[in-house]
Structure 1
Amino acid sequence: MKKTPLLNIALSRAIASLGHGDIVIIADAGLPVPKGVDLIDLALTQGVPDFCRTLSTVLSEMQVQSHVLAHELLLAPCPALSGIDLHNSRGDLGGRNLLAHSEFKELCQQAKVIVRTGECRPYSNIALIAGVTF
């Protein structure tokens, strides 16, 4: 049995299949999912699971080179931003890039997978760019 906290089979499989530069989006419940992009829908109800717990769990298995946020998230501080900043201060997220929310949605078209949470605060989304462990 696995030792890491991530139990969701589809999400664990998606992370295991990543190559350098692949994109994983952790999304709030309202972010549109482009056609052709795999969706792992974890949302059960508003706030479950929340963005921060989902991010922490994904980071327990994923090596991240950099991350992308919509700059609108910085204008309305919320728990998602606090969680992102905590992981960023630990060095878990690599470099930060900011885009307009409309550009962030365009970036989603390049994602290998989008992970939908139950988060219902606007702009609570992050694009994680896969790194390598060597």
Structure 2
Amino acid sequence: MKKLGHLNRDIARVLAGMGHTDSLVIADCGLPIPPGVECIDLSFGRGNPGFPEVLDSILADFQCERALFAEECRGSNPAVTGLAEDLGNDGVQVEYVSHELFKERCRQARVVIRTGECTPYANVILYSGVIF
């Protein structure tokens, strides 16, 4: 049995297959999933699991060099804005774009990991870095 990293077999598979600059989305329960993009749905109730919990879990097992958030989160979701600032303080390049452009960029992701989060603009696109 797997001891370290993700026990969710789909997340473990996706993370193992990521290459430099590939992207994945961690999404709230309302973000539309683009056609043709795999969705790993972790939601099992309103707010469960939450965006911060899933983000922390992914970052513990994923080399992230860049993170993209919707600009609208800055005025609508201070908790997500704080998480974005924390990422920047940890050396991740943090960018903001309009929510419409964010949704377009989701089309290029390898996967959308859907959470049960029910707060506005609790979404991020994480871009893979390299470990060397």
Provide the aligned length of Structure 1 versus Structure 2: 132
Cα shift readout 1:70-92 (whole Å, capped 9, x = no counterpart) = 0000112333332333333233x
Decide whether aligned partners of structure 1 residues 3 and 81 sit closer, same or farther in structure 2, where only a CA change above 3 A counts: farther
1:48 partner letter? N
C-alpha deviation, 1:9, in angstroms: 1.0
Identity %, equivalent residues: 39
- Using the size of structure 2 for normalisation, the TM-score is 0.93
C-alpha deviation, 1:55, in angstroms: 0.3
Cα shift readout 1:47-84 (whole Å, capped 9, x = no counterpart) = 10000010000001100110101000011233333233
CA distance in 2, matches of 1:78, 1:2: 36
1:99 partner letter? V
The answer for the alignment partner of 2:28 in structure 1 is 28
Alignment of 1:28-67 (within 5 A): 28-67=28-67
- Structure 1 unaligned runs (5+)? none
* DSSP 3-state at the match of 1:52: helix
| Conserved? CA contact 1:81–1:124, under 8 Å | no
CA distance in 2, matches of 1:132, 1:17: 13
C-alpha deviation, 1:5, in angstroms: 4.7
The answer for the alignment partner of 2:102 in structure 1 is 104
- Using the size of structure 1 for normalisation, the TM-score is 0.92
